[in-house]
A and B are shown apart, each in its own frame.
Chain A
């Protein structure tokens, strides 16, 4: 089973600083990690490889330092890494990103399965995974919490819902996005780290991918970040005491005051 895992390198801290002029993330000085949800995607891919054979290819789109995210995935047991990196891809929103990643996946070659984390911890959109499957015209199953059965033709998975889960059978190739309930990502081994250190990372640029220039980067992005702001913290509430009719009256008065 040949599996492609799409990952994103994100800032570790939740205290992300924003460049007030461009409204984009200031990544300098913040440690970068693999998006925590993508760790479950990598782990699940490696487990499937251990069961069925084949190989695990990791793809990420990002700046040159995203190389370290690919190496970390290789240290866990992935076979190869592809860095989709070009100035032409800068400023991509989820549409342009999923279009570009789909293009990179076509370039990488035949696959049976694509796995993504359910969403990235910085953007929180959960759109790139489904976007990739749409661009590739393959089935998608989101929020997968368990792979029940798999063959080279199809897969039966449990998909998490807000209450309970549903079981979905999908033909392959397909794209899954996974939630943290699916597994516990492994600690890399020393041998894996040694392998990752010397692993060759393939860089894919616009020159290799030959994507439609109108659909990539900032100009291929239909959405724009206008402003990023920190919501004002909620202040503590007020507890009303007394008999229920009294409380009701107090509440009505408070609402009236608020309205006035």
Chain B
């Protein structure tokens, strides 16, 4: 399907494709096994201006565009969902600074994030605050011109490898959700340490660690937006970043289908390529159609965001939920098409199943997304 991309968008997509094929695909299996952070790839992404896609030009970026971020993330994910999330998670940690940072904060943090010299991360999840973010226990207490942070964040993507963190902590527990506040915390700040690195089912190239705050003193200047705006910062950030996760899922689905189609053309059974069998063709038809439907949702949502449409919570949730469900289904079917070989780690397809699963879980589970969509639709109908 032709999405009528601009020349600039085509250029970004083509460059991301080149990077994916030349620099990501050849190392995808290596990092899946070793679980090391793919610094060599992050360096290439920095040098090619890919981190600048979600940062405005005046702060060293290329342009602040969700569509650009989606196009790049989709291409990277075709080759490796794990390496792609290292990139997308840096976007997640950067977007709140782009949206809510003061000029001073932007000047201080964004140029290094745009060049890829530094990687960012976003910290909201806690052991008892996953889908229910109001359960956050990390606190921030103002003492003079500082805030003192105490608490634990877990499952933080890029945790330990990122330099710049946006962390949500409670400044006033009595106010519930309105008592949460966002802070920028730099790696190396005394009292800020990292817990164990998680051993994950998929997206193993990405690092996932706990962030531990023990009387961690950060300057009051690192307060992002205002006290009590932590959830607004989070929700606005997720609205912007969810299409990125959707694009990640979309790329995984596309990558899995491409591998499967290549395989069925080569695999000979009963004297002919299995692609000549109707049963196989129908599976491919369903995969391709569902992927295209997901792409339509993802790109449309990204374009709404770029056009400045205010409330895209429903569309954003739809794109993330649908694209990730498609990624799961398509990757499982793609493995099926590989038959017994697909189940073996010698073949690349089982990794797509493992990488796809997380997209149904993180950045709001698909159950939470359905909740957002359902409530919104009912509300719209009762106006």
Contact = CB atoms under 8 A, between A and B. Distances in A.
Query: Chain A contact residues: over half helix, strand or loop, or mixed?
Result: helix
A187 B50 CA distance: 11
A190 B47 contact: no
Contact of B44 (A187, A191, A197): A187
Contacts, number: 29
B49 interface: yes
Contacts of A155: none
Nearest to B68: A190
A186 B45 CA distance: 11
Contacts of B19: 187
Given A187-B23, A187-B44, A187-B48, A193 B18 contact: no
A188 interface: yes
Contact-size category for A: under 10
A186 B47 contact: yes
A79 to B, nearest CB: 18
B62 interface: yes
B347 to A, nearest CB: 27
Contacts of B22: 187
B92 to A, nearest CB: 21
Kindly name the residue among A187, A193, A194 whose own CB sees the greatest number of chain B CB atoms within 10 A. Answer: A187
B305 interface: no
B46 to A, nearest CB: 9
Nearest to A193: B11
Contacts of B50: 190
B99 to A, nearest CB: 22
A191 B62 contact: yes
Contact of B52 (A187, A190, A193, A197): A190
A190 B49 CA distance: 6
A13 interface: no
Interface string B6-49: 00000110010011001100000000000000000000100111
A194 B48 CA distance: 12
A69 to B, nearest CB: 15
Contacts of B53: 190
A65 interface: no
B11 A189 contact: no
A188 B15 contact: yes
A190 B12 CA distance: 7
A189 B47 contact: yes
Nearest to B44: A187
Interface in A182-226: 186-191, 193-194, 197
Contacts of B12: 190
B324 to A, nearest CB: 28
Nearest to B63: A190
Kindly name the residue among B18, B44, B48 whose own CB sees the greatest number of chain A CB atoms within 10 A. Answer: B48
Contacts of A191: 49, 62
Nearest to B7: A197
A193 B62 CA distance: 12
A186 B47 CA distance: 9
A169 B12 CA distance: 43
Contacts of B52: 190
Contacts of A194: 11
Contacts of B23: 187
Interface in B40-98: 44, 47-50, 52-53, 62
Interface in A148-202: 186-191, 193-194, 197
Contacts of A193: 11, 15
Nearest to A187: B48
A190 B52 CA distance: 9
A-B pairs, top 3 by smallest CB distance, nearest first, are A190-B49, A189-B49, A189-B48
10 contacts: A187-B22, A187-B23, A188-B15, A189-B47, A189-B49, A190-B12, A190-B62, A191-B62, A193-B15, A194-B11
Interface of B: 11-12, 15, 18-19, 22-23, 44, 47-50, 52-53, 62
